[in-house]
């Protein structure tokens, strides 16, 4: 073993050794030559080399070598990417439930006390209105979510007749459809879900 490598081992100077693997081999050979326990010597060298700031404190009273927690190389960037993906997913999920529908679709609450003063709804407007609370999912012609939540009793949603919007409702009997002022009736039976109802075919 070269003298400078031996000096590097005694000083725990890893930078002066060819590689860590060579260094551990030198430690094992050095321990064997001195009649020491090879495995224990290698373990001590690994521990002390991992905490170089404590190397000169081993002989001080009450000193206990500590181990440092080291993450694998590349862990910090990977955790950053994962956190960004999680945040983006959470933000996108919130946006899906709150995204506004493109013009000319509009939402409006239904107020039965104001119908006497309200202007009549033209026959070019289709209205989706709840007569009881129900979960309603509405998708635009491109499949994007317009609404995905519980509609309270009397809440309504409107669009131009002929637009290819599609609707899922949890309770078919709790959601009715109107064309202008004309009621077409509920979208299904009470308590029975209605899936993929094509509003563009209704006239």
Give the tokens for residue 37: 């326990």
* Secondary structure class of 160 (helix, strand, coil): strand
Say if residue 115 is in the same domain as residue 196.
Answer: yes
Asked if pLDDT for residue 162 goes beyond 70, the answer is yes
Does a structural domain hold residue 84?
no
Asked if pLDDT for residue 65 goes beyond 70, the answer is no
The residue-averaged pLDDT of 187-202 equals 92
Q: Nearest Cα to 137, choosing from 183, 182, 104, 99?
A: 99
Report residue 192's pLDDT band, with 50, 70 and 90 as the boundaries.
Answer: very high
Q: What is the count of structural domains for the chain?
A: 2
Say if residue 190 is in the same domain as residue 121.
Answer: yes
Say if residue 133 is in the same domain as residue 191.
Answer: yes
Does a structural domain hold residue 164?
yes
Radius of gyration of the chain (CA): 37
Q: What is the predicted pLDDT for the residue at 42?
A: 79
Does a structural domain hold residue 16?
yes
Does a structural domain hold residue 136?
yes
State what percent of residues in the chain have pLDDT above 70: 69
Does a structural domain hold residue 180?
yes
Question: Checking DSSP bridges between strand 175-179 and strand 125-130, what pairing results, if any?
Answer: antiparallel
Torsion of CA 47, 48, 52, 53, to 10 degrees: 100
Angle between helices 3-11 and 20-34 in degrees, nearest 10: 90
**Residue ranges making up the domain that contains 8:** 3-57
Say if residue 193 is in the same domain as residue 114.
Answer: yes
* Measured distance CA(166)–CA(138) in Å, rounded: 6
Sheet containing strand 106-109, edge to edge, reads 106-109, 155-160, 125-130, 175-179, 182-186
Report residue 53's pLDDT band, with 50, 70 and 90 as the boundaries.
Answer: very low
Say if residue 53 is in the same domain as residue 112.
Answer: no
Does a structural domain hold residue 148?
yes
Supply the pTM of this predicted model. 0.45
> Model confidence over 105-156: pLDDT tens digits?
445 455 555 545 567 889 999 999 999 999 999 999 999 999 999 999 999 9
């Amino acid at each position: 073993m070269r003298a400078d490598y031996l000096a590097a081992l005694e000083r725990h100077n890893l930078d002066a050794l060819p590689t860590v693997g060579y260094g551990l081999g030198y430690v094992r050979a050095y321990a064997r030559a001195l009649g020491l326990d090879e495995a224990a010597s290698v373990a001590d060298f690994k521990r002390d080399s991992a905490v170089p700031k404590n190397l000169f404190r081993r002989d001080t009273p009450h000193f206990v070598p500590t181990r440092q927690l080291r993450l694998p190389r590349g862990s910090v960037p990977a955790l950053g990417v994962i956190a960004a993906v999680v945040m983006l997913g959470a933000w996108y999920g919130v946006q899906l439930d709150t995204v506004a529908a493109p013009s000319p679709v509009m939402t409006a609450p239904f107020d039965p006390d104001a119908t006497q003063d309200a202007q009549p709804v033209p026959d070019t407007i289709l209205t989706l209105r709840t007569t009881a609370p129900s979960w309603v999912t509405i998708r635009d012609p491109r499949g994007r979510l317009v609404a995905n939540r519980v509609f309270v009793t009397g809440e309504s949603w409107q669009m131009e007749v002929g637009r290819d919007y599609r609707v899922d409702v949890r309770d078919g009997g709790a959601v009715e459809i109107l064309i202008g002022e004309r009621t077409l009736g509920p979208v299904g039976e009470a308590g029975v879900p209605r899936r993929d109802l094509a509003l563009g075919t209704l006239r």
